[in-house]
Amino acid sequence: MSVRPNTNLGSPRGDGLQPAAYTSHFVEAGGLRLHYQDYGTANRPPLLCLHGGAAHGHWFDFIAPGFTRDYYVIALDQRGHGDSAWANPPEYSYERYAADLAEVVEKLDLRDFVLVGHSMGGTVSLEYAARYPGRVGRLVIVDSTLQMTLDRVAALRNVGSRQGSSYATKDEFVARYRLRPAGTLATPAVIRHLAENGARQSPDGRWRHKFDRNVYATRETTDGLPRWNHIRIPALLVKAERSQRISPQVYAEVKARCPHAELAEVAHSDHHVTLDNPSGFVRAVKRFLTSQ
């Protein structure tokens, strides 16, 4: 069965968008201090964003301005990422991430909220929506791998088990910073913004990525497709034009389990959709939200 997306939205790169202003806050979940960015519109319906593996909440800085007029937008740094605490001993299962999210949602008293998850964050969002129904109102899964194979897990564990690079200065870190996977269409200014917010100085004086490499070293296989059997709320899969993570076959599998799930393809984007084409992403998601 071949299923084609019903939209192809957006113009290249979303030129002109600037990163949104925000304030930093912390909340405890799973015994850890987790950081989140509040984009300043708390009197509106909530929209919570979850980043992918080895990323951080700033992946949403360029799309937040497109939603803040209508939504209270926040972006959570998941455990082991960004300015959130690392788990010691390492505990980075999808179930644990989803349980963290359930605690955060309760403590922030979010109700009937929109949940937007990119890549690994999409898998966590799906896990949360299936396991903890009742508070999330609409679900947006962005270019996520819904079936984590043994080969993919082995590759990630290999990366995570190696010692990461370190840099003498933050400027060197920023200059050497690259997005993975490669192929992004994000502008140099966008990538620099991520780099400047993705570095931390270690006790030895060297600069390193903020994320815990055990996030990858302890990665497990997962099959997210059965989770779709439990999704009763409006749901959107966002496919990047140049990515094959959400293939026609994958979408057909999702539709077989969740017939009301919709699909939107964002033009001029690869895996890092919110960076490659922020304005196209905003249009795709807003079209979904306003149609519900």
Residue 3 lies in a domain: no
Residue 150 lies in a domain: yes
The residue range of the domain holding 110 is: 8-291
Polymer length in residues for the chain:
292
pLDDT band at 153 (very low <50, low <70, confident <90, very high): low
Residue 67 lies in a domain: yes
Residue 2 lies in a domain: no
Rounded distance between C-alpha atoms, residue 159 and residue 150, angstroms: 14
- Give kind and range of the element (H or E) at residue 193: helix 188-196
Average pLDDT rounded to a whole number, residues 263-285: 97
**Structural domain tally of the chain?**
1
The average confidence (pLDDT) of the chain is 91
Residue 1 lies in a domain: no
8-19 pLDDT, tens digit per residue, is: 333 333 345 689
Q: What is the CATH number of the domain that holds 94?
A: 3.40.50.1820
Residue 224 lies in a domain: yes
| pTM > 0.95: yes or no | no
227-246 pLDDT, tens digit per residue, is: 999 999 999 999 999 999 99
- Which phi and psi (to 5°) does residue 135 adopt? -105, -40
| pLDDT above 50 for 180 | yes
CA 9 to chain centre: 20
Q: ∠ CA(193), CA(195), CA(196), 5° rounding?
A: 65
